[in-house]
């Protein structure tokens, strides 16, 4: 018998002053049996940082990610069904990122593991030709602190200003500062 996913509910209040995006989001997240709460919270963070200001060009939605090898963690399709944005979390290989860049107008990757510098040193040169790819790293100690906020039912406030994030649940807060490893070219 297969182990089932654990369901997490998250109510988010987002104030992203850098992008001018403000809103409330109610999300239901499935924690895959092979996934950690740290990765789950990184998916949540990726949603907050990439959610569009409105749904005029489609909403950012959860894909099947770990459960389906041809899908990212999050994606955004426009109203015609065109894949606009592919959002990935973790340390994928160059082939997966190249394939994603061929399928979507934009690709954003968030890394968070202690091994990110080693992975990045090995893959960086192979990604230079992928103009629609942006790669961000959250230092491991910060992603672990974010994972400390994980609960089966969460009420979280996200504030983004000048590239810094503050995440709080009413009892504690965490400061995060993602670092851009590779910017997408316009």
**CA–CA separation, 143 and 14 (whole Å):** 18
The pLDDT, as a whole number, for residue 120 is: 96
Going by pLDDT thresholds of 50, 70 and 90, the confidence category of residue 66 is: low
Q: Distance between CA atoms of 171 and 175, rounded to whole angstroms? A: 14
- Quick check: pTM over 0.85? yes
Please give the share of the chain, as a percent, with pLDDT higher than 70. Answer: 96
Query: CB atoms < 10 A from the CB of 140, how many?
Result: 15
Q: Contact, 92 vs 109, CB < 8 A?
A: yes
- In terms of Cβ atoms closer than 10 Å to its own Cβ (0-12, 13-18, 19+), residue 167 is buried
Q: Where are the domains of the chain?
A: 6-182
With H, G, I as helix, E, B as strand and everything else as coil, classify residue 24.
Answer: strand
Q: What tens digit of pLDDT does each residue of 131-140 get?
A: 999 999 999 9
The CATH superfamily assigned to 6-182 is Restriction endonuclease-like alpha-beta roll domain (3.10.640.10)
């Amino acid at each position: 018998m297969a182990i089932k996913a654990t369901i997490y509910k998250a109510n988010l209040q987002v104030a992203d002053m850098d992008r001018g995006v403000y809103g409330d989001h109610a999300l239901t997240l499935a924690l895959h049996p092979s996934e950690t709460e740290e990765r789950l919270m990184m998916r949540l963070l990726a949603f907050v940082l990439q959610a569009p200001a409105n749904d005029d060009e489609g909403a950012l939605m959860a894909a099947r990610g770990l459960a389906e090898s041809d899908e990212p963690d999050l994606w955004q399709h426009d109203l015609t069904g065109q894949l606009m944005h592919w959002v990935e979390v973790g340390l994928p290989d160059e082939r997966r990122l190249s394939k994603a860049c061929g399928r979507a107008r934009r690709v954003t990757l968030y890394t968070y593991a202690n091994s990110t510098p080693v992975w990045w040193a090995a893959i960086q040169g192979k990604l230079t030709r992928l103009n629609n790819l942006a790669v961000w790293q959250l230092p491991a100690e910060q992603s672990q602190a974010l994972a400390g906020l994980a609960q089966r039912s969460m009420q979280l406030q996200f504030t983004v200003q000048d590239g810094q994030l503050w995440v709080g649940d009413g009892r504690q807060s965490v400061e995060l500062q993602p670092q851009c490893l590779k910017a997408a070219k316009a």
